[in-house]
């Protein structure tokens, strides 16, 4: 199991110990990494039995983005998409869903310049060993903070909506998978009871577990688009014209939820 060196990497990624201390002080007043909710907005929670299930968002952003064919020296997650760094869209949508905490698992590239206040950076030192190691890091952070479930998405899927994040969070089954037109994609809800069954290495993520335990799985039909951005200069631009067409789309290649 990869070591989650959250405290040390958090300091490194957020500009020093002073800023980390300010964050710790804020966190002492509520859930770790909690984003203050807008008036009238409630964090995604699900009433089960006599209790409330506390749910955190986990955004996986640790990969090298090797399939991305954009400008040399630009990591995919920092490439422009509709006028902003690609990853900023997924970050914004996860935060707008109103989770008690949003964990951003990083690895190959420093995202500190684009991670907004209210999100917690968790560095995965073993990111090169596959997506599963990042999933383990995010789940571990949620476990330490006492959460009962996580909803997991990918940083290179910019059009997964806040409503979709919230709908998946509200499912009651141990595993809930977003679907789009019947196709299983992200985000995916994983309850605490199945965390020990998640893989510790490799690129499979939760897909194998979902296939092995279909009796635990519920699907949640969502609006939005689960496109996975990987290429630049393709034939079907998704970026608007003023963005210069830097980022284009490639669909359905790398999903925790697996195929239909």
Q: Which domains, ranges and CATH numbers included, belong to the chain? A: 6-28+44-243 (3.90.550.10)
Per-residue pLDDT of 78-127, as tens digits, reads: 888 889 999 999 999 999 999 999 999 999 899 999 999 999 999 999 99
Does the pLDDT at position 36 exceed 70?
no
Q: Residue 128 above 70 pLDDT?
A: yes
Pairing of strands 149-154, 183-191: antiparallel
User: Looking at residue 196, what is its pLDDT?
Assistant: 96
The stretch 191-208 carries a mean pLDDT of: 92
- pLDDT of 238 > 80? The answer is no
245 has pLDDT over 80: no
pLDDT score for 257:
53
- What was the pLDDT predicted at 217? 97
Q: At what angle do helices 162-169 and 86-96 cross, to 10 degrees?
A: 50
Q: Which residue has the higher pLDDT, 69 or 197?
A: 197
pLDDT tens readout for residues 135-146: 999 999 999 999
What share of the chain has pLDDT > 70, as a percent?
Answer: 65
Of 136, 106, 142, give the one whose Cα is nearest residue 121: 106
Average confidence (pLDDT) over 224-242: 51
DSSP, collapsed to helix, strand or coil, labels residue 141 as helix
């Amino acid at each position: 199991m990869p070591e989650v060196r959250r405290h040390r990497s958090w300091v490194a990624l957020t500009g020093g110990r002073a800023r980390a201390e300010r964050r710790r002080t804020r966190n002492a007043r509520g859930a770790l990494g909690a984003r203050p909710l807008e008036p009238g907005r409630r964090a995604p929670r699900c009433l089960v039995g006599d209790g409330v299930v506390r749910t955190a968002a986990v955004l996986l952003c640790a990969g090298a983005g090797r399939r991305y064919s954009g400008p040399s020296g630009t990591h995919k997650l920092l490439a422009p998409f509709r006028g902003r760094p690609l990853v900023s869209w997924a970050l914004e949508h996860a935060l707008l869903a109103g989770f008690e905490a949003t964990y951003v698992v990083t690895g190959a590239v420093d995202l500190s310049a684009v991670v907004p206040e209210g999100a917690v950076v968790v560095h995965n030192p073993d990111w090169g060993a596959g997506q599963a190691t990042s999933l383990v890091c995010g789940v571990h952070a949620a476990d330490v903070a006492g959460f009962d479930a996580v909803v997991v998405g990918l940083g290179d899927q910019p059009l997964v909506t806040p409503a979709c994040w919230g709908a998946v969070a509200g499912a009651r089954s141990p595993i809930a998978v977003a679907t789009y037109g019947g196709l299983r994609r992200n985000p995916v809800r994983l309850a605490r009871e199945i965390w020990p069954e998640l893989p510790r290495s490799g690129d499979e993520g939760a897909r194998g577990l979902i296939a092995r335990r279909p009796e635990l799985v519920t699907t949640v039909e969502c609006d939005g688009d689960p496109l996975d951005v990987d290429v630049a200069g393709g034939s079907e631009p998704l970026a608007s014209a003023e963005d210069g067409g830097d980022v284009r789309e490639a669909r359905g290649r790398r999903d925790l939820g697996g195929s239909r």
